[in-house]
Amino acid sequence: MTQSNPEIGRSIEIDSVRTNYHDLGKGFPVLMIHGSGPGVSGYVNWRTVMNPLAEKRRVVIPDMLGFGFTERKPGQRYDVDAWVAQAIGLLDALDLPQADIVGNSFGGALALKLAIRHPKRIRRLVLMGSAGLDFPLTEGLDAVWGYEPSPDNMRRILDIFAYNRSLITDDLARLRYEASIQPGFQEAFAAMFPAPRQRWVESLASAEDELRRIPHETLLVHGREDRVIPLASSVALAGLIPRAQLHVFGRCGHWTQIEQAARFIRLVGDFLDEAGGGEPLALA
79 counts as catalytic: no
- Give Cα separations from 215 to 11, 47, 57, 108, 210 (angstroms): 33, 30, 22, 16, 10
- Residue 103's nearest CA partner among 216, 242, 252 is 216
Q: Please, are residues 64 and 34 in contact by the beta-carbon 8 Å criterion?
A: yes
Give the H or E element holding residue 27: none
| Rounded Cα distance, 75 and 133, in Å | 28
Q: Which one of 34, 36, 63, 105 is the catalytic residue?
A: 105
Sign of the alpha-carbon dihedral angle for 90, 41, 3, 262: negative
**105 in active site:** yes
| Residue 254 is a catalytic residue | yes
Catalytic residue among 34, 216, 222, 254: 254
Residue 51 to residues 57, 233, 257, Cα–Cα distance (Å): 10, 29, 13
Burial 194-223 (b: 16+ CB within 10 A, else e): eeebeebbeebbbeeeebeebebbbbbbbb
Sheet with 217-223, side-by-side order of all strands = 10-14, 17-24, 58-62, 29-33, 99-104, 122-128, 217-223, 244-249
Catalytic residue among 226, 233, 234, 247: 226
Residues annotated catalytic, as ranges: 105, 226, 254
